[in-house]
Amino acid sequence: MNLLAKATNKMFGYNAVADSKGKRQAPQTRTKHEFNILNQKSRAKLNATAQEQARNHALCAWMIRKHLDYVSKFRVSIRTDQTELDIMLNAILKWHGRPENFDIAKRLGREESFRLYENEKVVNGDAGFIKLKGLKLQGLESDLIAKGAVDSKASKATKKKLEKVNGSGLVVSQSTGERLSFAVCNRGERGDKIIFDHLEPAGNVIFDGYWSRLTSQYRGISPLTTALNGIQDVSMACEYNLVKAKMHALFGVAIMRDAVEGVDGDTAEEVEAGATVEMNPTGFMMTDLNPGEKIETIESKTPSADFVNGTYLFIQLAMLALDIPVTCFDSRRSNFSARIADLNEYEVSTEAKRTKNRYVRQAYSDWLIEQVWSGGYQWELERVATDAGFTLQMLKDAIEWIPAGSPWLDKHKQLTGDALAIDRGADNIIDVCRKRNTNFFDNIDKQEKAEKYAKEHGISLVKGGSGQRSIEEIIAAEARAEADAVIAENEENQETEVTE
């Protein structure tokens, strides 16, 4: 290859694959399966680090809570247009959502369980629910899906089962990569080990995780991974600056001395070097200084403005791991329009995460309805559904899980915009209600009951402002105007007849 060709190759190409000779990190040369990059040992270390930061660093804990508020909250919507069937399905889901009916440990209700399910996913990468008899579910934390150690008392059959498990804690199909079963572990008697317990068929596990690869990934990986180092650095820097400010507060006053020679006359009582001076902050204090001495207050400029601005940048970079806009952290730095724009963009970024959780919720409700359909529980679901012309699959499809939506920032302005969009055909009232975590049909039903109750007690629900006329007054005025118009027309007709 001649020199011209070599120069051309260097001019045209991807800079990311060029060797920078120490200027930056060298480019990677091989692409591997994600498990080879994050094996079980490294995964345990990553998860332990994420859990430690979620426990001890306020920024990390707040980011997770904010993420859960927007991603994990759902409500159920059921409309079969069959009143008896709708009432029964809602009653089943409400009954099963209680802790004593949902959780095998009878500790967590459905909504709290699904919130912690998403919490486990975002901190550790993935999580699961094991379906048990009696309509119970058992939470399966990420680190308990592993190729754990074998107990000394384990049988040969148990050891043989463990041989099928790969390093990610799964038994997968070699041809398709499909999950066949999960290696479920416990933490031993003292809670500090990962001991293999049994293989759970994949069909009995509601499993989900955060994926970054299309096929080359068996286990989910936390999106917080990209922010863990930054969060830890910010927390440490803030702590060090706080210690520095405390040190400045401890040494609040300094007495400065200069060497003075040849001074005649009386002088104030000398203060030994290194001695402390007691101060009385509750009363007037006067200090008689020696010649050459002066008092200065030590003012702390910690944290500095540069540190504060830099910290804001690092916090924003950390928040990008969960797509949280910086206006959620400090709304004082933006106006109303900027907050609305940030919220709209955040809604777009959370849609994919909500969709994942919607699938999980749908898998749960499908299992619940299927068990109640054929399980002989207190409801006669199969009979009522069949009489109404519904199959089991139709019932499953009638249950819809709707994300909680976004809170109002300025209700009047946002309602005005929504009303204008509905009038212009750019939106509809059903979807607008869903965005605000309400159900249009439920709102109408409740409003009907409210108006009926108010009418029975002679109360009007519509109240006008000061100086405005009531509906009754407007109707009466219109009626009088129509009557006056009829009278005027009759008089005009009579005058015309007399003239003729």
My answer on whether 179 and 327 are in the same domain is yes
Lowest-pLDDT range, 155-164, 271-280, 301-310, 326-335?
A: 271-280
Give pLDDT, residue 142. Answer: 95
Helix (H) or strand (E) holding 486: helix 471-499
My answer on whether 222 and 253 are in the same domain is no
My answer on whether 186 and 207 are in the same domain is yes
Question: Total structural domains in the chain?
Answer: 3
Question: Residue 169: inside a domain, yes or no?
Answer: yes
Lowest-pLDDT range, 248-262, 314-328, 354-368, 423-437?
A: 248-262
Give pLDDT, residue 278. Answer: 62
Question: Residue 7: inside a domain, yes or no?
Answer: no
Question: Residue 71: inside a domain, yes or no?
Answer: yes
For residue 50 the two structure tokens come to 């994420």
CA angle 452, 408, 108 (to 5 degrees): 80
pLDDT band at 369 (very low <50, low <70, confident <90, very high): very high
Nearest to 391 by CA among 85, 77, 91: 85
Give pLDDT, residue 287. Answer: 67
Lowest-pLDDT range, 120-134, 156-170, 247-261, 424-438?
A: 247-261
Q: What share of the chain is helix, strand, coil (3-state, %, to 5)?
A: 55, 10, 35
User: Could you tell me which residue, 362 or 413, shows the higher pLDDT?
Assistant: 362
- The whole-number average pLDDT for the span 197-211 is 95
Count, residues in the chain:
500
My answer on whether 327 and 371 are in the same domain is yes
Q: Which residue matches tokens 């999106």? A: 223
My answer on whether 96 and 236 are in the same domain is no
Give pLDDT, residue 5. Answer: 55
My answer on whether 210 and 145 are in the same domain is yes
Digit-coded pLDDT (tens) for 17-75: 566 666 667 777 778 888 888 888 899 999 999 999 999 999 999 999 999 999 999 99
My answer on whether 83 and 102 are in the same domain is yes
Give pLDDT, residue 151. Answer: 78
Nearest to 82 by CA among 383, 364, 365: 383
Percent of the chain at pLDDT above 70?
83
pLDDT band at 469 (very low <50, low <70, confident <90, very high): low
DSSP 163-198: HT--TTSEEE-TTT--EEEEEEEE-TTTT-S-EEEE
For residue 283 the two structure tokens come to 């009363």
What are the residues facing 166 on neighbouring strands?
none
Question: Residue 269: inside a domain, yes or no?
Answer: no
For residue 446 the two structure tokens come to 């409740």
My answer on whether 124 and 250 are in the same domain is no
My answer on whether 118 and 191 are in the same domain is yes
Q: How many CB atoms lie within 10 A of CB 163?
A: 8
pLDDT band at 437 (very low <50, low <70, confident <90, very high): confident
My answer on whether 237 and 295 are in the same domain is yes
Of 271, 293, 321, the residue at which a domain comes to its end is 321
Supply the mean pLDDT for the chain: 84
CA dist list (Å): 37 to 20, 224, 372, 495 = 23, 17, 44, 102
- The whole-number average pLDDT for the span 134-156 is 89
Residue pair 206/364 in contact (Cβ under 8 Å)? The answer is: yes
Say which residues have a Cβ less than 8 Å from residue 202's Cβ, sequence separation at least 6.
178, 179, 180, 181, 182
Domain that holds residue 432: 408-464
Question: Residue 129: inside a domain, yes or no?
Answer: yes
Percent of the chain at pLDDT above 90?
42
Question: Residue 72: inside a domain, yes or no?
Answer: yes
Digit-coded pLDDT (tens) for 217-242: 999 999 999 999 999 999 999 888 88
My answer on whether 357 and 210 are in the same domain is yes
For residue 274 the two structure tokens come to 């290194």
Answer whether 0.75 is exceeded by the pTM.
Answer: yes
pLDDT band at 86 (very low <50, low <70, confident <90, very high): very high
Lowest-pLDDT range, 44-48, 282-286, 417-421, 428-432?
A: 282-286
For residue 402 the two structure tokens come to 């709707």
Question: Residue 477: inside a domain, yes or no?
Answer: no
User: Could you tell me which residue, 82 or 437, shows the higher pLDDT?
Assistant: 82
Indicate if the pLDDT at residue 433 is higher than 90: no
My answer on whether 195 and 316 are in the same domain is no
Collapsing DSSP to helix, strand or coil, 104 comes out as: coil
Indicate if the pLDDT at residue 266 is higher than 50: no
Alpha helices in 271-410 (DSSP H): 305-319, 326-329, 336-374, 381-387, 392-398
Q: Which of 35-39, 364-368, 432-436 has the highest mean pLDDT?
A: 364-368
Nearest to 334 by CA among 316, 314, 350: 316
Question: Residue 483: inside a domain, yes or no?
Answer: no
Indicate if the pLDDT at residue 261 is higher than 90: no
- The whole-number average pLDDT for the span 401-419 is 81
- The whole-number average pLDDT for the span 357-375 is 94
